[in-house]
């Protein structure tokens, strides 16, 4: 059954900008967040407390988060380890996102840990976040195909999902990090996960490398998913996922939902889309 309404979580300020080679000034990041905050998103991913040597673009996470506090918006901050969580707690981030690759080969490139080492680290991380009443989003990255190991099996995804469920994640976000999934496997993945974990909230996170992100969004919806990460202007990409392009464009998903009569509560000004695109050196023109 199709949902009547869906939640779109804007990830442009984080996933959208993290892969930009030229540093986007903190002022421009704030301006983007301000414009997006007026569009009606219930929450946004705005910062990443990763190591600035690994991802220089996110080096201003503290300042950006302080600005989000000023705006009073509900934002999500990426925290790959306890050190990151301490930084997020210090600025008072209301929601955090942990991320673990279903493909261990990718996880090693992304955070210098095997999948099981990362899951181990999650124990202390979840406990500390829960003590501070922080909402925990838990990503399973590279959940379909991996540029380093090839196909990713359902069991590899399930291994991470099960651990996240046991640790008490508030929502589990399944990522097609390199944008190679197709609608058939997306439908199967979410149908199987929702059957196996009926009381868990699943979110879908699609990159558009193969131009199938919108079709994948529809397929996930058919399987009962009603929360989607999107990035304004189709910005995005993971620096440790070679060749991967941006997330599914928020405006494309908005148009599809609107035509289908599914409500999102979001109205995005064309100026906001143009501004977002102007921040990217990888997107040609508006």
- Out of 9, 33, 84, 189, name the contact with ligand HMG by CB under 6 A: 84
Q: Decide if residue 54 touches ligand HMG (CB under 6 A).
A: yes
From Mg ion, ligand HMG, none, interface partner of 46 (C-beta below 5 to 8 A by class): none
**Residue number closest to ligand HMG, CB atom:** 175
Most distant pair of Cα atoms in the chain: their distance: 46
Q: Least separation, in Å, of the C-beta of 256 and ligand HMG? A: 20
DSSP string over 144-191: SEETTTEE--HHHHHHHHHHHHHHT-SEEEEEETTS---HHHHHHHHH
Q: What are phi and psi of 206, to 5 degrees?
A: -110, 135
| C-alpha closest to that of 177 among 222, 226, 210 | 210
Interface characters, 171-190, with ligand HMG (x: CB under 6 A)? ----x-x-------------
What distance in Å separates the CA atoms of residue 138 and residue 133, rounded to the nearest whole number?
15
- Out of 6, 10, 12, 15, name the contact with Mg ion by CB under 5 A: 15
Site for ligand HMG in 122-141 (CB under 6 A): 139, 141
Cross-strand partners of 57: none
Q: Decide if residue 208 touches Mg ion (CB under 5 A).
A: no
Q: Decide if residue 95 touches ligand HMG (CB under 6 A).
A: no
Q: Least separation, in Å, of the C-beta of 142 and ligand HMG? A: 6
146/268 with CB nearer ligand HMG:
146
Q: Decide if residue 50 touches ligand HMG (CB under 6 A).
A: yes
147/175 with CB nearer ligand HMG:
175
What distance in Å separates the CA atoms of residue 201 and residue 37, rounded to the nearest whole number?
24
| C-alpha closest to that of 123 among 142, 102, 100 | 100
146 is catalytic: no
SS3 of residue 279 by DSSP: coil
Are 13 and 47 within 8 A, CB to CB? yes
DSSP H helical ranges for 7-132: 17-18, 26-37, 61-71, 82-91, 104-111, 115-131
Q: Decide if residue 277 touches ligand HMG (CB under 6 A).
A: no
Q: Name the residues that contact Mg ion, by CB under 5 A.
A: 15
Kindly list the catalytic residues: 238
Q: Name the residues that contact ligand HMG, by CB under 6 A.
A: 15, 18, 48-51, 54-55, 80-81, 83-84, 99, 110-112, 139, 141, 175, 177, 205, 207, 238, 240
């Amino acid at each position: 059954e199709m949902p009547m309404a869906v939640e779109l979580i804007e990830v442009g300020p984080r996933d959208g900008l993290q892969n930009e080679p030229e540093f986007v000034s903190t002022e421009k990041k704030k301006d983007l967040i301000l414009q997006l905050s007026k569009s009606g998103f219930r929450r946004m991913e705005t910062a990443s407390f990763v190591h600035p040597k690994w991802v220089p673009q996110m080096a201003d996470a503290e300042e950006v988060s302080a600005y989000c506090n000023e705006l009073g918006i509900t934002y999500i901050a990426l925290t790959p380890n306890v050190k990151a969580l301490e930084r997020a707690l210090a600025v008072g981030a209301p929601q955090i996102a942990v991320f673990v690759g279903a493909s261990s080969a990718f996880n090693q490139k992304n955070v210098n840990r095997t999948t099981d080492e990362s899951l181990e680290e999650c124990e202390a991380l979840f406990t500390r976040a829960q003590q501070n009443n922080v909402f925990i989003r838990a990503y399973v990255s590279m959940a379909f195909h991996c540029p380093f190991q090839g196909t990713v099996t359902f069991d590899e995804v399930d291994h991470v999902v099960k651990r996240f469920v046991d640790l008490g994640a508030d929502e589990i976000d399944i990522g097609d990090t390199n944008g190679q999934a197709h609608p058939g496997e997306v439908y199967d993945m979410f149908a199987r996960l929702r059957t196996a974990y009926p009381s868990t909230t699943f979110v879908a996170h699609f990159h558009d490398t193969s131009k199938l992100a919108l079709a994948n969004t529809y397929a996930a919806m058919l399987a009962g998913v009603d929360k989607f990460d999107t990035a304004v202007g189709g910005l995005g990409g993971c620096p440790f996922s070679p060749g991967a392009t941006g997330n599914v464009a928020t405006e494309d998903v908005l148009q599809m939902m609107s035509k289908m009569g599914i409500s999102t509560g979001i109205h995005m000004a064309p100026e906001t889309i143009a501004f977002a695109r102007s921040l990217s050196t990888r997107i040609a023109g508006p």
